[in-house]
Amino acid sequence: MKGNILAIETSCDETAAAVLKDGNELLSNVVSSQIDIHKVFGGVVPEIAARKHTEQIRLIVDRAVADSGAEYSDIDAIAVTYGPGLVGALLVGLNYAKGLSISLNRPLITVNHLMGHIYANFLAIAGLKPPFIVLLVSGGHTMLIKALDYIQFEIIGQSVDDSAGEAFDKVARIMGLDYPGGPVIDKLAGKGEEKFSFPRPMYDNGYDFSFSGLKTAVLYFIKDNSGYRKEDICASFQKSIIETLVHKTIKCAEDSKIRQILIAGGVAANSKLRSEMDKYKNRFDIFYPPMGLCTDNAAMIARAGYEKYKRGLFSDLAVDVIPNLGIDKL
């Protein structure tokens, strides 16, 4: 089905907009990151994030349309993230999208941010079809998901406390490293040795995850020891968290008898996660988003929105944000 989708993403600290043509041709993808603003606080400050979205959103959306080579009159639908995320940040994007929907007389498509991360894979892999197992791993979520259809997802397992991305950020903060912690730890780990033994919580206990205890183990190791290299702690911590993610993902795929595995979310950019998952490519078809589409962006929202556009799944203007939206709701 043909159609130009203008998408907006403001769920956390990136103000993003993109234009997607016919579900497979990305005409533009603009992202304005607030990382440097929030870095001094060691994490995202919701009030600041919402304020910066308000300042940036018109500029970013206008630029996305201009970069696409299209006009606003060429847009067939407006897609926007409505959850999960920070309530103030989400409201900026949703309200701007509603305004565009009214002024352009185009349908509004609300998109689940988690579904967007999954659909980042579809932008790089032509002809990808369900069923597949998804490891969705980010700063806010760690989930194993079974997708038997394009828009129906079942949670098989999830974190009972800290997400993997959250554990990376917290351990980085404990070690005095920059925010966001994931890329910094990944880089330092490449220069270190996996010489310390940290726990792998719930490793053989079902499909759920728990990373709070691992974070605490690193904290007490640092308090009780000296003379260590940060690179070695990073390598050892990352080994524990990645081995747990990979073990449970492969077991889930084996038990489900599903050959395709999709990795999604910001932690999908982690080099060790990719190298460890690649060891199983002789048994499974394993897919990753392009590196530039792992973190939050509007291209993935456009692609997920296109699936709803094809099915005529539009929202009315009374729709509100849902900060704790689950993957089971479109």
Q: What is the pLDDT of residues 258-270, one digit of tens each?
A: 999 999 999 999 9
Which parts of 225-267 fold into alpha helices (H)?
230-256
Q: What is the arithmetic mean of pLDDT over 256-282?
A: 98
- The answer to whether 130 touches 148, Cβ cutoff 8 Å, is yes
Q: Which residues, in sequence order, are CB contacts of 265 under 8 Å at separation 6+?
A: 117, 136, 137, 138, 141, 165, 294
pLDDT at 198: 97
Phi and psi for 121 in degrees, rounded to 5?
-65, -35
pLDDT at 10: 98
Q: What is the pLDDT of residues 152-193, one digit of tens each?
A: 999 999 999 999 999 999 999 999 999 999 999 999 999 999
- The answer to whether 249 touches 143, Cβ cutoff 8 Å, is no
Q: How far apart are CA 111 and CA 123, in angstroms?
A: 16
Q: How far apart are CA 276 and CA 272, in angstroms?
A: 6
Average pLDDT in the chain: 96
pLDDT at 217: 97
Q: What domains can you pick out in the chain, each with its CATH number?
A: 4-119+294-310 (3.30.420.40), 129-288 (3.30.420.40)
- pLDDT tier at 139, thresholds 50, 70, 90: confident
Residue 199: C-alpha distances to residues 139, 218, 250, 254 (Å): 20, 9, 19, 24
- Which helix (DSSP H) or strand (DSSP E) does residue 15 occupy? strand 14-21
Q: What is the pLDDT of residues 164-173, one digit of tens each?
A: 999 999 999 9
SS3 82: strand
Strands 108-112 and 14-21 come out as: unpaired
Q: What is the arithmetic mean of pLDDT over 82-94?
A: 98
- pLDDT tier at 126, thresholds 50, 70, 90: confident
Whole-prediction pTM value? 0.96
